[in-house]
Structure 1
Amino acid sequence: MQCFTGGVGAENVRRLARHPRMELVGVLVHSAEKAGRDAGDVVGIPPLGITTTRSLDEIIALAPDAAIWSAQGYDPASIARLLAAGINVYTGLGGYFLDGEPEQALLADACRAGGATFAAGGNIPGLISDVLPIFLTGYTGSVRHIDAVQRNHVAHYPSAAQLRDGLGLGLPPGETESATALDAGWLWLMTSSARMVAAALHVPFTRIEQTDKRTALATETVTLPGSGLTVEAGTVAGVRWTWTAYSGPSAYLTITNEQTAVLKLGAGWRETEREPAWTVELDASPPLVATLSWPEGTAAAAANAQLNAARAINVLAALVAAPPGCVSVLDLPMITSSDTVLGEATP
C-alpha cells in the first residue's frame, strides 16, 4: 500500500499501477479533497479501482505485505501501528539508522510484535549522504575523508509544500524561527547518515555539526513550473547547507546540500541544469571521485522524485524477505531494479 500522495508518493502510485511483480491494494491520503476518490484520478492516471482513504485502520485491514510511508512528516507512532499489524514498512523520511534514536525501542518492539521489518532511505539522507559513499569505500582503502555534495535544481519539483517547508524556498531570508527549526530538522537527518557511514567505516561516531549555511535571494519574482510555488523577489531562491561529522578530533565526512529554484544566483551557485547533481570524493588510497546526474533535457527535479520513488519500490522485495526488525542499507542485499522491461520504451 502507498501512504500519502505528495510528489514522491504520487509517483509511487503511478509506478506500482504498472509494476509486473507487485499489486497496489490501498492508498492512504492526507487531505479530505483527495479522500474517497479513485487513486488513479488522484495521481493523474486512468482509474485503478482503488478508493483512497484517510483511515489508517482501513489500510491496516487490507493486510498488505508492505507499505511505503511517504508523508511529509516522520510519524513513528503510526509506522509502529503498521509494523505491529505485520506490515513491513519502508519510509522516505526518518528512521534511516536507528542506533541511539529515541524511537528505536518503539519501532523494534513493533517489529517483534508483528514479525515485520522496517527500513528507510531516499535521496538525502540516502543516496548521496550515505549509500553512495559507503558503496564507493568498497573500492578503495585507507579512507581519510569523504566529501558528499548534492546540488539539485528544483524548479520542476512537483510539491510546493516540500520546497517551501522542507527547504525554505520562497520564504523571507534571515534566522527566523522557521529557519532555525528547518536547520535542526536537517541536522537530525544528517546525523543518521553520519552514524551509518561511521558504522560502515568501523570508526566511532563522536558528533556532527552544521558548519555553514548560505542563501541566495531571487532578483525577480518567478513561479516554478513544477509546483506552482511563487518565489517573490527578495525571498530565498537558493540554499546551501554544510555539515561536518567527526570521529574523535578527526572530520571523516562532509555533506553539502544545495537546492536552487533559480539558476545563476551568483558566484558559486548553479549556472546550468547540466552541472552534476551529486558528487562524492574520497580522500583514500586510491582517491576516488564519482559524479551522478541526469541526461541532457531531463527535468532534473521531476527525475529526482522518480529516483526516490524507484528506490522505495525496489527495496520492497528485500524488505519483505528480511528477518523481522529495524534494518538499514548495511543489513540489506544490494538493491536492484524490480521491474526491468527489456526492449520497451522508457515510460
Structure 2
Amino acid sequence: MPQGKTYRVIQWATGNIGSRALRAVIEHPNLELAGLWVSSAEKDGKDAGELCGLAPVGITATRSAEDLIALDADCVLYMRQGTDWDEICAILESGKNIITTRGDFHYPAMIDPENRARVDAACIKGNTSIYSTGSSPGFISEAMTIPLLSLARRHDMLTIDEFADCSSRDSPEMLFHIMGFGQPMAPFDQRRAEHLKGDFGSTLSQIAAAIGLPFDEIEAKGELSAARNTIQIAAGRIEAGTVGAMRTTITGLRHGKPVLRFRANWYVTTDIEDADWNLRDSGWRVRTEGDTPLLVDIHFPVPEEDYAAFTPGLTAHRPVNAIPMVCEAAPGIRTTVDLPHVIPQFA
C-alpha cells in the first residue's frame, strides 16, 4: 500500500452506517471526499458535513448517480438499501473501486452466475475491484477467524455466537412488529433464517473453501424462547410467556459434519425459558475445536447511554480502513482471504 497516498472517495448513502462512514472519510488523514449520493429529497443539495454532524465541507449531496459516476474518484463506499446491479456495474466500469456493506460479494462462487459475470466484466473494463465487509458478516466471520484457525493443524469445528441485547432500543415498531419480540410464542418464521443464510452462508463458505474444507450443505435454523417473567424495556412491556429471545443458526456442513457455524442470539431479556442458550451482554464469543481449542470473548465496554453512538462504527469503520487495500488490489471480486490485512491509518 503506497504510504501517504490520498484516495478520493464517494460515499453512497447516509443511513445509520453510511453517515458514520461519511464522517470517517471526512476526518481521515489520507482520504478526500469527492461526492455524496443520497436517496431522499430532504437530503438532496445539503452539505455533506452537515449530514454527518460536522462543519460544511463544500461537497453537496445529490440523488444523481450519473453525475457521481462521471466524477474522478478512486473508490465508492456503497451502503445503500438493496443492491442495484446496474448501478454497481456502472460504477466499476467507470474506474471506481467499490467497498460495500451489502453482503452479496463475500464469496464469488455463491453469486448468481449472471450477476457475477456482469460484475467480473465491469471490473475488467474499469480495472477495478469490489469487496464486501463490515463487522458481522465481515470482521467476526472472516478477519477474526483466520488468525484463530492459523494456530491449528486439525480442525473440528468453529462456532461464532453473536449476542445483541435489544432491551435498551426504544423502537417499538422494529422490536414488536418486525422482529416479533413480545408476541405470542409460535413456530419460527423460516424466511428469517433463510435471509441470514444468504449473507452468513457465503461469508462462512469463503473461509471453509480457504482452509480446504468446502461445504456440501448449509443449514439455517431458527428458534424462539419465551420470557419467564413480565418486564419493562425501553420500547414497552414484555409479558411473561411471550417471545423474549430468538436464535438463528447458520451451519456449514461437509460430509454431514458441521465445520463452521454462526449463531445470532437476539434478545430483550436473559431471563428466558431456554437457560442453556447462555445469553450474555452484547458482543461475540468464538470457540474453535480441534488440536488447539480456543475460546475468545469480545465485549463492548461502552456505557449504555453511549451505545447508540458507538455501534455504527463497528460496521462503518472497517470499509473505510479497507479503501487503500481494495484500491491497490487486482481487478475483480475481492475477499478477505485474498486481500492484505486491513490496517487503519491514524495519522
TM-score (norm 2): 0.84
- Counterparts in 2 of 1:191-202, with a 5 A limit? 191-202=201-212
Aligned residue number for residue 323 of structure 1: 330
Aligned residue number for residue 66 of structure 1: 75
* 1:105 maps onto 2:111 in alignment: no
2:316 counterpart (292, 300, 309): 309
Q: Is the 8 A contact 2:13 2:39 kept in 1?
A: yes
SS of equivalent residue, structure 1 residue 252:
strand
Q: Which has the larger radius of gyration?
A: 2
AA at the equivalent of 1:34: K
Q: Single out whichever of 324-333 and 75-84 deviates more from structure 2.
A: 75-84
SS of equivalent residue, structure 1 residue 48:
coil
Deviation at 1:300, TM superposition (A): 4.3
> How many pairs are equivalent?
329
1:49 counterpart (58, 73, 80): 58
* 1:286 maps onto 2:296 in alignment: no
1:334 counterpart (314, 334, 341): 341
Aligned residue number for residue 190 of structure 1: 200
SS of equivalent residue, structure 2 residue 154:
strand
Deviation at 1:134, TM superposition (A): 2.3
2:49 counterpart (40, 53, 58): 40
* 1:297 maps onto 2:308 in alignment: no
Deviation at 1:128, TM superposition (A): 2.1
CA 1:301–1:41 in structure 2 vs 1: closer, same or farther (change >3 Å)? closer
Aligned residue number for residue 345 of structure 1: none
CA 1:96–1:155 in structure 2 vs 1: closer, same or farther (change >3 Å)? farther
CA 1:23–1:232 in structure 2 vs 1: closer, same or farther (change >3 Å)? farther
Deviation at 1:144, TM superposition (A): 0.6
Deviation at 1:303, TM superposition (A): 2.6
Q: Is the 8 A contact 2:129 2:327 kept in 1?
A: yes
Aligned residue number for residue 156 of structure 2: 144
SS of equivalent residue, structure 1 residue 125:
coil
Q: Single out whichever of 297-306 and 55-64 deviates more from structure 2.
A: 297-306
Q: Is the 8 A contact 1:65 1:320 kept in 2?
A: yes
Q: Single out whichever of 98-107 and 50-59 deviates more from structure 2.
A: 98-107
2:219 counterpart (181, 195, 209): 209
Q: Single out whichever of 36-45 and 295-304 deviates more from structure 2.
A: 295-304
| Structure 1: distance between partners of 2:45 and 2:134 | 29
| Structure 1: distance between partners of 2:137 and 2:177 | 13
- Partner deviation per Cα, 1:299-343 (whole Å, 9 max, x = no partner): 4454331021110111100000001111100110111112x25xx
Aligned residue number for residue 263 of structure 2: 256
| Structure 2: distance between partners of 1:279 and 1:236 | 23
Q: Single out whichever of 47-56 and 297-306 deviates more from structure 2.
A: 297-306
| Structure 2: distance between partners of 1:165 and 1:85 | 43
AA at the equivalent of 1:286: T
Aligned residue number for residue 114 of structure 1: 126
| Structure 2: distance between partners of 1:166 and 1:5 | 25
SS of equivalent residue, structure 2 residue 314:
helix
AA at the equivalent of 1:317: P
AA at the equivalent of 2:319: A
Deviation at 1:245, TM superposition (A): 0.9
- Partner deviation per Cα, 1:103-161 (whole Å, 9 max, x = no partner): 22121111011111111111222122233122210122201111111112346779999
Gaps of 5+ in 1: 224-229, 342-347
Q: Single out whichever of 43-52 and 164-173 deviates more from structure 2.
A: 164-173
Q: Is the 8 A contact 1:243 1:254 kept in 2?
A: yes
| Structure 2: distance between partners of 1:302 and 1:92 | 18
| Structure 2: distance between partners of 1:211 and 1:307 | 26
Deviation at 1:100, TM superposition (A): 3.4
Aligned residue number for residue 4 of structure 2: none
CA 1:20–1:335 in structure 2 vs 1: closer, same or farther (change >3 Å)? same
CA 1:233–1:171 in structure 2 vs 1: closer, same or farther (change >3 Å)? closer
Tell me how large the CA RMSD over aligned residues is.
3.0
Q: Is the 8 A contact 2:142 2:203 kept in 1?
A: yes
2:140 counterpart (128, 143, 156): 128
Aligned residue number for residue 3 of structure 2: none
Deviation at 1:9, TM superposition (A): 0.4
SS of equivalent residue, structure 1 residue 291:
strand
1:168 counterpart (174, 179, 182): 179
Q: Percent identity?
A: 27
| Structure 1: distance between partners of 2:47 and 2:100 | 23
CA 1:232–1:166 in structure 2 vs 1: closer, same or farther (change >3 Å)? closer
Q: Single out whichever of 39-48 and 7-16 deviates more from structure 2.
A: 39-48
CA 1:185–1:23 in structure 2 vs 1: closer, same or farther (change >3 Å)? same
Gaps of 5+ in 2: 1-9
CA 1:70–1:52 in structure 2 vs 1: closer, same or farther (change >3 Å)? same
SS of equivalent residue, structure 2 residue 111:
coil
Q: Is the 8 A contact 1:117 1:327 kept in 2?
A: yes
Deviation at 1:38, TM superposition (A): 1.1
